[in-house]
Structure 1
Amino acid sequence: MVKDHHVIEALGKTKVVIENGEVVSVGEPLVEYCPLFDKIDNAKKLDKDYIKWNMEKRIREFGMCTKERVVKMPDMMSFGISEILKTNRELGQIDCVVGVCEGVGTLLITDPEIIQGVGGRVSALISTTAIPEVIEKVGKENVLNPDTADLDPIKGLEMAIEKGYKNIAVTILPSRTILELREYPLPDDVNVYIFVAHTTNASDEEVEIAFKNADVITACASDKIRDYAEKEEVYYSGSKVPLFAVTEKGREFLDNRLEKIGKALTAKDYPLKRETHPYPLI
């Protein structure tokens, strides 16, 4: 029997290991302060004790990394990536999201509430093992590999195309796989939109690949993402942890969400006011 083992990069890009519903390891955070978690939990410092407490809270509240996992949840933020995807799925701008979930691996999501529930409460998923009860909740037919819970966005995209989806969004971490997604040979009637998350400590190469190939990118605690966006004067929204709309379609997706929640639309107000952003930026 495969050991229940889930690796997540969480607050401050901290490696966290969860087994059998217990936090068994918390690494060293790379970021000391994040305004989002200050707002959510009044957390003034991202230390190991707080990160462990936060992970345990997620396990208690929605069953993260357990068979009790709740997969349909309300919005977490005003306009995070999952909220943007949820809104644009509701509007019919996106047919399907290729995403990931602990206990499931790569999966196809068409239900807006599952888009939010799966993506809105978990940071970067590095590896996971299958939890059959969670797989049943999201639909076994939507899971890339129900036995091994593989994380493979390229194969996820292939699966979405095979199922006949035409406007496909893919969520992904900074990597050369972004380039593979953009260069994937698509049928003429298929569009792929790339959403890049968890960019803290991304390399120069990863940042350049992201801005040249993605549609929407989160700033997280990345100095390089902010530097590149300022150089190119990319449209964005958010005063503390901006989301950058790199393409016109990305801007449309972001503006659709902002319009729904009554916020001002994307802007090009530079330089960014970094004194309100996470610390340190890396």
Structure 2
Amino acid sequence: MGEHVIEALGKTRVTVRDGKVVHVSEPLIHYCPLFHKYRGIEKITSEAVRQNIEYRIKDFGMCTANRELRMRDFLSFGISEIISTLLAEGAVEAAVMVCDGAGTVIVTEPELAQGIGGRISGFISTSPEKDVIEKIGPKNVLDPQKATIDQLKGVERALEMGYRRVAVTVKDPDEAEQLREIGDGEIYLFAVHLTGIDYRGAEKIINTCDVVTACASKYIRRIADRRALLKVGSSIPIYACTKKGKRFIELRLEVMGASGKKNSERNPLSPEPLV
């Protein structure tokens, strides 16, 4: 099954090897309202993270050959949900995402985009799982031999495959700038896994990406609260930083029938601490 390195809830680094959790670091964040709401985790500890990752391995085969890949909406509003909606509505033709067991992949099916992105955390590295790659389709996997994670090359591959309107998830500010410089097609950037990003990196993300999730980043909140065209949610906001990003979020809200409920939370809880 190989080795998979994850930045999981609390920005905790976790190593999964051959389907077993073999290392869990100390969490950077000790509270996340999403994991409290959906998983009942009141305090993020190394043991809580271990149990959560073990649950995901057992529940849908994360980091194994038994990975379940298709899924309907999990969160009411998240990056994978927005991308799934864009694929379903024809607003984009393909999405470049990261999948455990496959690395960078090119996805065109809404439920596949949701199944890949909706239940995982940030992957630092992963190892190829033959069955996972077969389910996705080897031609849709950037590097079936090594399961390389490289979003820039993934977008280039998507363009080579003939897709012109491409969504891509990105977490690295420098990679986001490189993606923005691509001259071919229409490339839409969705920033994810930003907990702990420094101020300069946060500025780069806000300046280059269409849609940005705040995660537990204090700098993303500080900058985007002033500059974003649209903000949805309060506990873990999602920001539209371009006109196209604003339209994408509004499209998701329309599909949800929630156009008037953008910031309906009362006394929302935020991740603790913000970093």
Q: Give the shorter-chain TM-score range.
A: over 0.9
Q: Which residue of 2 aligns with 1:11?
A: 9
Are 1:102 and 2:100 counterparts? yes
CA contact (8 A) 1:255 1:266 kept: no
Q: Which residue of 2 aligns with 1:197?
A: 192
State the TM-score, normalizing by the size of structure 2. Answer: 0.96
CA contact (8 A) 1:16 1:23 kept: yes
What secondary structure, in the 3-state scheme, does the structure 1 residue paired with 2:97 have? strand
1:275–1:116 Cα change, 3 Å:
closer
Please state how far the C-alpha of 1:76 moved relative to its aligned partner.
1.2
What secondary structure, in the 3-state scheme, does the structure 2 residue paired with 1:7 have? strand
Please state how far the C-alpha of 1:234 moved relative to its aligned partner.
3.8
Q: Which residue of 2 aligns with 1:41?
A: 39
2: CA distance, partners of 1:230 / 1:267: 14
What percent of counterpart residues are identical? 43
CA contact (8 A) 2:233 2:263 kept: no
Q: Which residue of 1 aligns with 2:256?
A: 261
What secondary structure, in the 3-state scheme, does the structure 2 residue paired with 1:176 have? helix
Question: Displaced runs of 4+ in structure 1, greater than 2 A?
Answer: 264-269, 272-275
Backbone CA RMSD of aligned residues: 1.8
1:231–1:41 Cα change, 3 Å:
same
Deviation digits for residues 100-157 of structure 1 (CA, Å, limit 9, x no counterpart) = 1011011100011110000011110100111111000100110111001111111111
Deviation digits for residues 37-82 of structure 1 (CA, Å, limit 9, x no counterpart) = 1101221101111111100110011000000000101211011100
What secondary structure, in the 3-state scheme, does the structure 2 residue paired with 1:224 have? helix
What secondary structure, in the 3-state scheme, does the structure 2 residue paired with 1:29 have? coil
Q: Give the count of matched residue pairs.
A: 275
Give matches, 1:155-174, under 5 Å.
155-174=153-172
2: CA distance, partners of 1:266 / 1:229: 20
Opposite residue 222 of structure 1, the aligned amino acid is: S
Q: Which residue of 1 aligns with 2:90?
A: 92
Q: Which residue of 2 aligns with 1:280?
A: 273
2: CA distance, partners of 1:119 / 1:274: 28
1: CA distance, partners of 2:65 / 2:89: 31
State the TM-score, normalizing by the size of structure 1. Answer: 0.94
Are 1:211 and 2:206 counterparts? yes
Opposite residue 274 of structure 2, the aligned amino acid is: L
**Structure 1 residue runs without a partner (length 5+):** none
Q: Which residue of 1 aligns with 2:239?
A: 244
What secondary structure, in the 3-state scheme, does the structure 1 residue paired with 2:231 have? strand
2: CA distance, partners of 1:274 / 1:233: 22
Opposite residue 166 of structure 1, the aligned amino acid is: R
CA contact (8 A) 1:235 1:267 kept: no
1: CA distance, partners of 2:208 / 2:180: 6
Q: Which residue of 1 aligns with 2:143?
A: 145
Opposite residue 62 of structure 1, the aligned amino acid is: F
What secondary structure, in the 3-state scheme, does the structure 2 residue paired with 1:24 have? strand
1: CA distance, partners of 2:201 / 2:118: 23
**Structure 2 residue runs without a partner (length 5+):** none
CA contact (8 A) 2:96 2:154 kept: yes
